[in-house]
Amino acid sequence: MSPPRRIWLTESGTVCLRDEDPLGEEIIREFWCPLNGGYIHEIDADHPGTLGRQVCDGLCHLGVTMRATRETLLDVIRREYRSIQDRKRRHGY
């Protein structure tokens, strides 16, 4: 059996990221950007009725806001996730 996808594009054009929280529990984060490009947002149950919080470098919500088009969104999220994992390995997490 193949491992579950870590990052994937949904039929609606959002990107989902399967990861673990600090306690080891599985979480799924979902990201989107406007059709013609713009800031990346995270769909968040804690902020209903909004565009979602803007996503910054490192997939955080503080710092330089990331941008993408629908065509580049998957690659941008993958690149940022790889960067996070590289930093964790370098610092022994």
Predicted confidence (pLDDT) per residue in 20-62, tens digit: 888 989 999 999 999 999 999 999 888 766 788 999 999 999 9
Enumerate helices (H) and strands (E) in the chain, giving the number of each.
1, 7
Instruction: Say what the pTM is.
Output: 0.87
Decide if 1 is inside a domain. Answer: no
Show the domain range for 74: 7-90
Decide if 80 is inside a domain. Answer: yes
Q: How many other C-beta atoms are found inside a 10 Å radius of the C-beta of residue 78? A: 15
Q: Which residue, among 40, 45, 43, has the nearest Cα to 29 in the 3D structure?
A: 43
Decide if 71 is inside a domain. Answer: yes
What CA–CA distance (Å, rounded) separates 37 from 23? Answer: 34
CA 61, 75, 45, 5 torsion-angle sign: negative
Decide if 19 is inside a domain. Answer: yes
Domains in the chain, number: 1
